[in-house]
Amino acid sequence: MQGLTELLKGSLEGIVLQHISCGETYGYEITHYLIDLGFEDIVEGTVYTVLLRLEKKGLLTVERRPSDLGPQRKFYQLNDAGADYLATFWKKWAFLVDKMAILEGEQKNDNSK
């Protein structure tokens, strides 16, 4: 799916947080997970900037450990603040999904006189 850029604003952060909440992981893995999920146009740069932002917000714990395949990996885990933030995110998302469903269900009222 293409042209999701604007819709992803705000959601991508939650998407990344949610994936990290499933277990410790790192940027490169997250990127390929998202591509496999169907977000084909996501590139590494995008994911890394999200991760750095989440880290600056104090939502993640970070640990660098060597990889057996390449450079060091930067492993992330959710901390308590991250879990709270993620819970709030899902509430907002549920609100939006609910309102969008209401809107989508509304039919065209014929204004022809």
Partner DNA sequence: CCTCCTAGATAGTGATACTAAGTAGTGAAT
Partner DNA sequence: ATTCACTACTTAGTATCACTATCTAGGAGG
Sites of contact with DNA (CB under 7 A): 4-6, 8-13, 26-29, 41-46, 48-53, 67-75
Q: What share of the chain is helix, strand, coil (3-state, %, to 5)?
A: 60, 10, 30
Give the x-and-dash track for 39-58 against a second copy (CB under 8 A). x-------------------
Least distance to DNA from the beta carbon of 87, Å?
16
Q: Measure the N-to-C terminal CA separation of the chain; round to a whole number of Å.
A: 41
Decide: helix, strand or coil at residue 77. Answer: strand
Binder to a second copy among 18, 35, 73, 74 (CB under 8 A)?
Answer: 18
Say which amino acid occupies 32.
H
Q: Does 1 bind a second copy (CB under 8 A)?
A: yes
Q: Tokens standing for 53? A: 């932002």
21 lies in the binding site for a second copy (CB under 8 A): yes
